[in-house]
Amino acid sequence: MTRSNIVFIVNRAYQFMHQPTSSHWLAMKCIMHYLHGTQTHGLTLTATPSLHLSAFTDTDWASSLDDRHSTGNFCVFLGDSLVSWSSVKQRVVSRSSTESEYHALANLAAELDWFK
């Protein structure tokens, strides 16, 4: 839960768990190698008196080689604590990285509206 940067790719690899190919095994080895090299990275959960709401978003434009959909990511902080995050494949194929960022920002705006 504290490694939101790999949530999507681990989910994607998990979809081939019952019939993995050599490329899926190679992808899992890459994920494990990445995790081994970044053991000190992650999100910490700490108590804080601040109720300042902040959010960040990013996309990986046309990252899915299967269908060219982008992956949109966001995280929402309340003070210093992470309270929500998402990493999802976008429903539409974006024509540009700007359009992809716009879709991710719209998802984040909906999440922030829910928080407020």
**Residues, the chain, total?**
116
Question: What average pLDDT does the segment 83-111 reach?
Answer: 85
3-state secondary structure of 77: strand
Q: What percent of the chain has pLDDT over 90?
A: 10
- Residue among 56, 58, 83 nearest 1 (CA): 83
Residues 6+ apart with CB under 8 A from 71: 8, 59, 60, 63, 64, 87, 88, 89, 90
CA gap 20, 105 in Å, rounded: 34
Q: Between 63 and 15, where is the model more confident?
A: 15
- The pLDDT of residue 1 is 54
The β-bridge relationship of strands 71-78 and 81-89 is antiparallel
Model pTM? Answer: 0.63
Band (2; pLDDT cuts 50, 70, 90): low
Which tens digit of pLDDT belongs to each residue from 25-73?
Answer: 898 898 889 888 888 877 667 777 888 899 998 888 777 767 788 888 8
Residue 4 has pLDDT above 70, yes or no: no
